[in-house]
């Protein structure tokens, strides 16, 4: 039972609301649409209304910069803000790799943080212990996956319940 599990492994609000998260919520980085975007995508959580619009400038296989817009809770918005910082300057492959790891971290509370370097994004590791908030943390990354897939003309195999839509340029 969930209550037994919690007794052995108490979940504290401090695990969720880290200072880094509140900082990005209050002072989001890279807010807005990039003029030089080569691909953009948007997505929302129909059950709660969180939404993210993402624009990415990709040149020669490298993410030169990302901008985001939208509205929602501290988890969804800080996740997007941290993502735009963490991915800027990375190659497509590296960005995909990071997206995979962050999504693993967000959904699996046994994820080994020592196995990868996620920087500030590690602040989101507590989300996995708040099952109803996982989709908030995932939203930006699902939108990113769509945008990157569109950039390379692939289809995304997504079994999440987050509807996303991609537009070019």
Positions in the binding site for other proteins (CB under 8 A): 6, 13, 16-17, 22, 26, 47-51, 71-75, 130, 132-133, 136
Query: Is the CB of 101 or the CB of 129 nearer to other proteins?
Result: 129
Least Å distance, CB 27 to other proteins, is 12
The answer to whether 24 and 127 are in contact (CB under 8 A) is: no
Q: Which residues contact 95 (CB under 8 A, 6 or more apart)?
A: 63, 87, 144, 148
**CB of 90: closest distance to other proteins in angstroms?**
29
Q: Which is nearer to other proteins, 90 or 129 (CB)?
A: 129
Instruction: Return the number of the residue (71 or 152) whose C-beta is nearest other proteins.
Output: 71
41 vs 75, beta carbon nearer other proteins = 75
Instruction: Please say whether the dihedral angle defined by the alpha carbons of residues 159, 74, 101 and 60, taken in this order, is positive or negative.
Output: positive
Q: Which residues of 18-35 are buried (b: 16+ CB within 10 A; e: fewer)?
A: bebbebbbeebbbeeebe
Q: Which is nearer to other proteins, 65 or 137 (CB)?
A: 137
The DSSP code for 90 is: -
Instruction: State in angstroms the smallest separation of the CB of 63 from other proteins.
Output: 28
CB of 14 to other proteins, least distance (A): 9
The answer to whether 167 touches 147, Cβ cutoff 8 Å, is no
Dihedral (C-alpha) 73, 110, 149, 96: value to the nearest 10 degrees?
110
User: Minimum distance from CB of 115 to other proteins (Å)?
Assistant: 28
Strands of the sheet containing 164-168, edge to edge, are 62-71, 51-59, 39-44, 164-168
């Amino acid at each position: 039972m969930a209550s037994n599990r919690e007794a052995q492994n108490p979940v504290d609000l401090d695990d969720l609301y880290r200072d880094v998260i509140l900082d990005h919520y209050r002072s989001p980085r890279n807010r807005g649409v990039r003029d030089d975007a080569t691909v953009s995508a948007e997505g929302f959580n129909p059950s709660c209304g969180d939404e993210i619009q993402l624009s990415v400038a990709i040149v020669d296989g490298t993410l030169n910069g990302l901008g985001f817009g939208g509205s929602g809770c501290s988890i969804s918005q800080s996740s997007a803000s941290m993502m735009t910082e963490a991915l800027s300057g990375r190659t497509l492959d590296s960005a995909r790799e990071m997206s995979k790891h962050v999504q693993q971290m967000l959904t699996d509370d046994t994820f080994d943080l020592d196995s990868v370097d996620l920087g500030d994004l590690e602040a989101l590791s507590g989300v996995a212990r708040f099952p109803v908030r996982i989709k908030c943390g995932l939203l930006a990354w699902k939108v990113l996956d769509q945008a990157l897939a569109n950039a390379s003309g692939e289809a995304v195999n997504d079994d999440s319940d987050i509807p996303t839509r991609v537009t070019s340029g």
